[in-house]
Structures are given as structure tokens and as C-alpha cells.
Amino acid sequence: MRQVKITFLIHNVYAIGGTIRTTLNLAAALADRHEVTVVSMLRHRARPRFVVDPRVTVVPLVDLRENSADANDPLLHQPAEVFPTAEKRYGQYSRLTDQRAREYLRTCEAEVIIGTRPGINVYLARFAPPRALRIAQEHLTHDTHSKKLRAQLARRYRDLDAVVTTTEADAAVYRAKMRLPGVRVLAIPNSVPDPGPQPADGSARVIAAAGRLVRAKRFDLLIEAFTDVAAKHPDWSLRIYGSGADKERLQRLIEEQGLGGRAALMGAVSRIEAEFAKASIVASASDAESFGMTLVEAMRCGTPVVATDCPLGPAEIINEGVDGRLVPMGDRQALAAALCDLIADEPGRRHMGEAARAAARRFDPAHVAHAYEELFGDLAATRSSRAWQRRKARWRNRAGRALRRLRR
């Protein structure tokens, strides 16, 4: 494929999160052949917490730091008018972000522009130049959005070229529930780079977990299951990495279960792979995952994963019994039993870790970047036919509305 200019639009590249990690991974892989820019809607610190490939240009739009010129702009304190009101991040957006997004996109020279969250995808649909390919990534899922937000997105997503989900299951939901004529809806997984030549050796008596400390991640269930594990295997420990609103409740639960010194909240880290490589098992007790980034990160380290079979990602990542274990959602006994099975079988654990490392190669950034390049080529080749599909759909909608008015 010839070299093209590619721009990613992201909420805040200076923070920590799965969308930031996977965006930077993909940007770096695409930078091998293309000119790549990451546009951060917001900025709250001097430098990004994650390492940014030096070939990737970072452009912040609104500076939230106290000493910035934007801090005194009156538009910063006025609610956004374009960013959708039903989006969870709406309170962090303003008329200033609306204005900066409009100004940047209307003069953007990129040939491909990729949005990375629903509200930003609305900016993309509203303001990006028609000559650019407009691609919306979905890092959550269709069904986790409110009915109001889905309605707001459906109106705007019709002007996009593609909607990319992280799982085929979620792509199928979008195709069934959001009618988008002329818009390609497909799944491309998140990318996770190889952490290096030193995989986990399976000897550490450590179970690790990572993610935002929020109720949906069910770290409480994991701690309760580890209580059962610890009773049988007192020499094993649990380390949970992350930060969030549930921290105090989880710490109390650790103390109530008598796990002080055995289970610990380790805080957030920017290089979680280094911690996963120090563990022999990685666990996830989530009730919902749009993808399952930590599962892939663990597998790339050669660390087997025990995860709940929650919607939508784990079953598309883990081959049950081969490179990891899947257990029913919310089942403390099943989670504890799967962990104990792996603890008791060190050779089997090592073999599963090797299988996990091999299976996770399909998430290498180079493979994912190639899938995006194929998408760019397909969208460019079908631009005219897809535009015709959109026009036909609009004519049918207008004719239908006119007919309903006549009948009334």
C-alpha cells in the first residue's frame, strides 16, 4: 500500500487506559509505512504516561493544565453543544473542545481519520473533510451504550465510512441493531506488542490481575475466590494492579477475608506486561469486556489466563483448556477451582503458557496494522458504490416520511 497520512482522534493520550495503549500500539505499527498523528482532545500533564513512538506526532487540542492559556478561555466552562449529551465523558467536554475539534478537522490533511470513542466519532462525522476516509472505532460495545446515546450515534454514524469493533460478536450486534447503509461494519481486534524475549516461566507463586477498580470488573469476586485458593495453597499470593473508585471497598474486603499480606492492591502501572511476566497465572472475573486487553497482554507474556466467559471478548481470545480457562460469570467456586487446577499442575501450567504465547501472536500490531491497511484500500475502492447506497437509503426514508404524511 502507498504511504498515506493517518490521524487518530483520542480522548486524552496523556492518561492511562486500554484505548490509549492499543491506539499507540497501532499508531506505531502503521508508522512503519505511513505518516501518523495522534490528536488528543484533552491534555492534563506535560508528557504522556505511555511511551509514544518518536515517529508518531502528538497534537493536543485543549490544555487543561492550570497555567495554560486554555484554562482562562470562557468557552472551556460552557457545556459542549456538538459532543453528544448521552456520552459518559460529556461533562469533560465543552464548547472549546467543540470549537477546537471543528477547526482541526476542517483543515486536516489526513487521508484517513480514525475516532476512538463515541463522542469523538460524532466530531469525526460532523467535521472531517469528505475526501478523508472516516473510521469510527468502538472500544466499548453497542449494548453498553444507553438507548439515548445509540439514537444520537445512529444519526451521525451514517456519514462515516466504517465502524470497527474489537470483537465479531459486537460487530454482529451493530449490523443487526444500527442500520448504516454504505458503512462497513467489521471487527478488528486490538493490538498488543510482543513484550520481549523473557516470557513467564510459570514458577512464581503469584496470581495477577489488572484493570480499573470498578464494580463491573468484579475484583471482589476474585478476592473471594482467592480466599478459597489461599486456604488450599497458603504459599500463593494475589496482586491486583489498577486504580479506581472501588479501591477502598476492595481493601476492606481483603482485610475482612483475612488476606492481609496475601492479597494486595498494587496501584496502576504503565507497563503491566512486566508484572504479568512475574506471575504464573493472570485472572479476570469481569462481568463484561468489550475486548479483554489484559488477557492478551498476559498471553503475550506466556502467562495462562483464567477468565469469566463474559460478553463479549474472552471467548474470542481464549481457546478453553488449550491456552487458558473460561469459567461461568459470577461463579466463585468455578473461578477458585480453575485457579487451583492450574496451581496444582505446574507442567500443565507451563504448557498452557507456551500455547497462550503462540496463540497471542495473532494480536501482533503488524498483523492488526495490515488488517487496517486492507480496510483503507477496500473503503477507497468502494467509496462511490457506498455513497450510492447512502443516497438510495435517504431517498427511501424521505419517500416513506412523505407517504406517512399523506396517509395522516
Give me the pLDDT at residue 196, please.
78
The superfamily in CATH containing domain 5-191+367-398 is Glycogen Phosphorylase B; (3.40.50.2000)
Positions in the chain whose pLDDT score sits under 70? 197-198, 399-400, 402
Give me the pLDDT at residue 197, please.
63
How far lies 34's CA from each of 7, 24, 330, in Å?
A: 10, 14, 44
User: Is the domain defined by 206-362 classed in CATH 3.40.1170.60?
Assistant: no
Write down the residue that cell numbers 487446577 correspond to: 341
Range list for CATH 3.40.50.2000 in the chain? 5-191+367-398, 206-362
Q: Classify 361 as helix, strand or coil.
A: helix
Angle at 288 between CA 283 and CA 291, to 5 degrees: 80
Give me the pLDDT at residue 154, please.
94
Characterize the bridge pairing of strands 263-267 and 237-241: parallel
Give me the pLDDT at residue 271, please.
82
